[in-house]
Amino acid sequence: MAKVMTKSKIRNKRQIAEQQLTVEGKRYLSDILERRRQPSVLRLSDEQEQHFRVSPLLLGAVGAQTYFHPDGECATALAAKQQEVPFIVSAYSSYSLEEIRDAVPDSELWFQTHIFKDKELTRHFLQRAELAGYQAIVLSVSNDIIYQDADQLEKGGANFVVDPIFLQKHAESARTFQEKIAEEYDTGKLTWHDIQDLTSFTTLPVFIYGDLSIDDIRAALQHHIDGIILTNVTEHNLDFLERIKMVIGESIPIVLEMEVETNQAWNHYLQHGATAISIKENYLYGLAASGAAGVEETIYELFV
């Protein structure tokens, strides 16, 4: 694990970030935090051995990161590379997945996408990520939303504006660019057939992301999913995590999306069965406070 020369407390960076963020940036961050847990839209309809190694800390997917710093996802990817942790890039990013890869070569990047109404567009996003050298795919089965302010300011449409399938599909449409994107997120219910169809278009490990139930997790095992990222585990329902661990054993990684501010808190969840923790809020405050250096300091503080 690389080290930085100086480090600050996570809460201090939060205070600095709050002073520097624009009104729109604060509103967007508030939306992210308030709507973190979205109900699953997955409907249930040969367990495999897991060999994909997962870092115990990940930087979770947040779109439109130029809200927080002009370098956005490129700064986050640089910090993640320096501290040797994976960064999950959102499909709704300010820079395209290819631009982020080109800006920070040799970093561990995962790609997270909603399963769009247009499955061909989803498949193409997955193929683009694999061709760009990403290491894993995360499919969201939550009721994802596009934040209204991000739509208005066009900060998160980079992957769509360069995608030939999206552009050709909407070439004759009179709707705004943001309305075209929002339409793709209106999926409705998903089935495991949808997910299996998509996974056949990539050779990368595939993780399922969302507010998953025990039945969802059992089905994920049956359908050879490579890992899960849970948004519905907290300090108050650790028994749920332990039940999940009983179902999964060591077959696939269990990643928890939550905020931790100390090494002790982080290890607490690992000791209860989590493979890794994926953070969002705290690294965003670091990004807003001082760009890549702020994100790097946040990561470092969790390892000491």
DSSP secondary structure string for all residues of 246-268: HHHTTSS-EEEE----SHHHHHH
Would you mind telling me the total number of residues written for the chain in this entry? 304
Token pair listed for 168: 């050709």
Q: What would the pLDDT profile of 42-81 be if each residue is shown by its tens digit?
A: 444 443 444 568 889 999 999 999 999 999 999 999 999 9
Report yes or no: 255 and 226 within 8 Å, Cβ to Cβ: no
Structural fold of domain 10-302? TIM Barrel (3.20.20)
- Find the range with the poorest average confidence among 29-38, 41-50, 117-126, 287-296: 41-50
- Find the range with the poorest average confidence among 23-27, 33-37, 94-98, 131-135: 33-37
Report the number of secondary-structure helices (H) and strands (E) in the chain.
Answer: 14, 10
pTM: 0.84
Q: Which amino acid is at 197?
A: D
Per-residue confidence band for 170, with pLDDT thresholds at 50, 70 and 90: confident
Work out whether strand 227-230 and strand 42-43 pair parallel, antiparallel, or are unpaired: unpaired
- Find the range with the poorest average confidence among 136-145, 182-191, 223-232, 283-292: 182-191
Instruction: For residue 206, give the nearest of 262, 295, 263, 137 by alpha carbon.
Output: 137
DSSP E strand stretches across 41-108: 42-43, 57-59, 87-90
As a whole number of Å, the end-to-end CA separation of the chain is 11
Domain segments of the chain: what residues? 10-302
Q: How many CB atoms lie within 10 A of CB 58?
A: 25
- Find the range with the poorest average confidence among 8-22, 37-51, 84-98, 205-219: 37-51
Report yes or no: 113 and 122 within 8 Å, Cβ to Cβ: yes
